[in-house]
Amino acid sequence: MGAIIDRRRYTRRTLLKTAGMAILTPLSVRAAEARRIKWSELIPGNLPYAEIIGRGRIDTDKDIWVPEFDANGSQLNTDLDGQRITLAGYILPLEIGSEGVSEFVLVPYVGACIHTPPPPPNQLLFVTSVVPWPQGNLWDAVLVTGVLQAQPLDTEVANIGYQMQAEYIEPYRA
């Protein structure tokens, strides 16, 4: 009888360990299956960033800088449309709740769209997340994984070229 009780405990422990691994594995597997891309890959033909941004102008009525992009700044890399990717960047929050940020623009450098004119549309990614990102570390770089959509979106912050429903967000570690 003692062996049966021990076996049941062992079975429960094994079951708990297995369930724990099953819960944790999909996140790492999903992230591992995603293609890690660089911001330059969002620009068709991998043109240098300097070739897609223009000088811009000042809107004196609104007292803001309005960047001007050539046609390459609005062109999207449709080869990436529908692909699961991972991209490193910084969070520009749009929707913040008590649990964190659930909608944001992923930008290629700190302060983009806040302290500087926004990057071109093909250098911005609108992200929604079911699991909010904690708001305490918004200045730290993150890795965002999900299916990329080459679908433009106009917001008050900027014109955005890409969208994604985040499957997984994690701190970026160099």
Of residues 129 and 16, which shows the higher confidence score?
129
Q: What is the pLDDT of residue 4?
A: 39
* Residue 6 in this model has a pLDDT that exceeds 60: no
Q: What is the pLDDT of residue 19?
A: 39
One-letter amino acid of 129: S
Burial environment of residue 42 by CB neighbours within 10 A (0 to 12, 13 to 18, 19 or more): buried
One-letter amino acid of 87: L
* Residue 75 in this model has a pLDDT that exceeds 70: yes
Share of the chain above pLDDT 90, in %: 45
Task: Convert the pLDDT of each residue in 99-135 to its tens digit.
Answer: 999 999 999 988 776 666 788 999 999 999 999 998 7
C-alpha–C-alpha distance, residues 80 and 46, integer Å: 13
Q: What is the pLDDT of residue 146?
A: 98
Structure tokens at 109: 């450098």
Q: Global pTM?
A: 0.74
Q: What is the pLDDT of residue 14?
A: 39
Of residues 96 and 68, which shows the higher confidence score?
96
Residue 108: closest CA among 70, 60, 162, 27 = 162
For the chain, give the longest Cα–Cα distance: 86
Residue 106: closest CA among 125, 129, 80 = 125
Structure tokens at 26: 């999909």
C-alpha–C-alpha distance, residues 87 and 130, integer Å: 18
One-letter amino acid of 95: E
Give the pLDDT band of residue 23 (cuts 50, 70, 90).
very low
